[in-house]
């Protein structure tokens, strides 16, 4: 069976296109008492970007903190706050920030129309009711969260996305000017998330011509950004992220993502840096990708943290391995059917011990 997948229907791209946000939201504003909620990464509190948000009527800027990656409990809190503040369901949720903020905005828009806790919907196609209209404006590029049908959340029992067609954004606004102030390390880690999506998609067994077309373009753009220091690198990275996301939408990620999920679950390691740390130990699986990734690190003077797992107990290491090995589709994409014979628990533990 071929997947029949949905994509984001409205996309605007270009430097300064943020200025068109007010116009785009106009058609959503049918009732003056119904607000639009701007979910803003609190790194922008008091900054120029916050002042440019086109607030009207009863709109609210909802500052969110992403020091920790989003948890289901945080989504539940934000939804309760909105329900207590407004007697009506908001007309729109606009996420402005990196992957974490975009995921929070997706989850809030879903949970305003679906009962219970966000944790109840971690999995595949568990959402029944369409979300509130939601739009994303990335300020950091690489994750592909702007184009994906998931919102990755850490719940009480698992780190797993709410995967559904309703999760997809209704509108994305790609304005490369918004990447200007990203600290260099973070820019690199999130950008490498995209590069690793491409490598995992392009070398995977699930690859088809659709995924290859997007993945090849995305990796070419990553090379221009991270090896050539192209003057239009922000524009290129924004498109690389989108294309990388489109590539994995029809294929899958692989070993690096599986192992980084284990790290993140036990140590709280953030996604971008966690993928970089993990990828550096996967030369056996991705020899060319890892060699090129190291050239990119050298060029940008990036050093990765080491010995993360040195003080972990055998039980914690085992939990990591369980989380990683549980991600069957990722391993199947990476190593094919029968992957269990190649990626044994002992091999996973050995990789973790080296990190």
Instruction: Tell me which residue has tokens 């050239």.
Output: 295
Pairing of strands 60-64, 36-41: parallel
Query: Least distance from C-beta 119 to ligand NAD, angstroms?
Result: 16
User: In this structure, are residues 243 and 214 in contact, taking their beta carbons and an 8 Å threshold?
Assistant: yes
Tokens 């304005």, located at residue? 175
User: Residues 183-222: x/- map of binding to Zn ion (CB under 5 A)?
Assistant: ----------x-----------------------------
Cα(200)–Cα(196) distance, rounded to whole angstroms?
6
Give yes or no for residue 152 binding ligand NAD (CB under 6 A).
yes
Q: Which of 62, 91, 131, 145 binds ligand NAD (CB under 6 A)?
A: 145
Beta carbons within 10 angstroms of residue 339's beta carbon: 18
Determine which residue in the list 8, 21, 53, 66 makes contact with ligand NAD, applying CB under 6 A. Answer: 66
Token pair 């296109």 is found at 17
Token duo for residue 300: 């940008």
Alpha helices in 86-140 (DSSP H): 99-111
Tell me the closest approach of the beta carbon of residue 181 to ligand NAD, in angstroms.
4
Nearest to 234 by CA among 243, 244, 225, 242: 225
User: What residue 90 binds from Zn ion, ligand NAD, none (CB within 5 to 8 A, per partner kind)?
Assistant: none
Contact pattern for ligand NAD over residues 93 through 122, marking x by CB under 6 A: ----xxxxx-x-------------------
The answer to the question of residue 146 lying near Zn ion (CB under 5 A) is: no
Beta bridge pairs of residue 71:
154
Residues that bind Zn ion (CB under 5 A): 193
Binding residues vs ligand NAD (CB under 6 A): 41, 43, 66, 69-70, 97-101, 103, 139-140, 142-145, 148, 150-152, 178-179, 181-182, 186, 190, 193, 270-272
């Amino acid at each position: 069976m071929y997947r029949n997948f949905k994509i984001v229907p409205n996309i605007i791209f270009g430097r300064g296109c943020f200025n068109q946000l007010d116009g785009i939201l106009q058609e959503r504003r049918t009732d003056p008492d119904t607000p639009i909620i701007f979910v803003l990464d609190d790194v922008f509190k008091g900054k120029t970007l916050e002042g440019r948000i086109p607030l009207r009527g009863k709109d609210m800027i909802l500052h969110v903190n992403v020091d920790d990656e989003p948890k289901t409990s945080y989504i539940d809190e934000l939804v309760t706050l909105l329900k207590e503040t407004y007697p009506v369901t908001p007309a729109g949720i606009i996420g402005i920030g990196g992957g974490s903020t975009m995921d929070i905005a997706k989850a809030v828009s879903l949970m305003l129309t679906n009962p219970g806790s966000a944790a109840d919907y971690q999995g595949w196609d568990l959402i029944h009711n369409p979300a509130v209209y939601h739009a994303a404006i990335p300020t950091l590029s690489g994750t592909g969260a702007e184009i994906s049908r998931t919102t990755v959340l850490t719940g009480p029992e698992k780190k797993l996305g709410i995967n559904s067609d309703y999760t997809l954004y209704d509108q994305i606004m790609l304005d490369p000017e918004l990447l200007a102030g990203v600290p260099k390390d973070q820019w690199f880690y999130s950008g490498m998330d995209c590069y690793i999506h491409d490598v995992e998609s392009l070398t995977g067994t699930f690859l088809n011509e659709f995924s290859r077309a997007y993945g090849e373009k995305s990796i070419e753009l990553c090379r221009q950004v991270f090896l050539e220091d192209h003057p239009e690198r922000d524009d290129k990275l924004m498109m690389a992220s989108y294309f990388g996301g489109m590539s994995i939408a029809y294929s899958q990620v692989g070993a690096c993502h599986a192992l980084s999920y284990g790290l993140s679950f036990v140590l709280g390691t953030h996604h971008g840096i966690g993928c970089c740390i993990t990828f550096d130990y996967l030369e056996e699986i991705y020899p060319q990708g890892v060699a090129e990734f190291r050239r990119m690190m050298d060029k940008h003077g990036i050093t990765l943290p080491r010995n993360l797992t040195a003080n972990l107990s055998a039980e914690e290491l085992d939990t990591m391995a369980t989380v990683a090995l549980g991600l069957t589709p990722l391993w199947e994409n990476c190593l094919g059917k029968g992957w269990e014979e190649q990626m044994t628990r002992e091999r996973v533990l050995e990789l973790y011990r080296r990190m």
